[in-house]
Amino acid sequence: MMVEVTCRVGSNGIETLTVGSVPTFYKGLMENQYAYGKLTVDTCLEGSYKKALQALVLNRTVVNTDEAKDLLADLMEINKNYWNELK
């Protein structure tokens, strides 16, 4: 689980800051980033090709699913000595 908290860090330690409710646009961005991160971790733990592909599709820098498949194939080839096989 990831937790991001608005805070101030000073000589007295950490002070959390309350900012109220998050506007819908920013909440959507945060949820998308959380899902991308969680799927990436799940990929590593489970060796799941499907979750790796889902994570890449969620990434805003990947244009479409076909590009995500090509990118994942390239990543798997480049990292074959380091990654476990994705199923």
Q: What is the pLDDT of residue 6?
A: 86
What pTM does this model have?
Answer: 0.74
Please state, rounded to an integer, the average pLDDT across all residues of the chain: 93
Tell me if 16 sits within 8 A of 6, measured CB to CB.
Answer: yes
Enter the tokens of residue 31: 């949820």
| Separation between Cα atoms, residue 11 and residue 1, nearest integer Å | 28
| Separation between Cα atoms, residue 11 and residue 46, nearest integer Å | 42
Q: Is the pLDDT of residue 4 over 80?
A: no
| Separation between Cα atoms, residue 64 and residue 10, nearest integer Å | 44
pLDDT-derived band at 5 (thresholds 50, 70, 90) equals confident
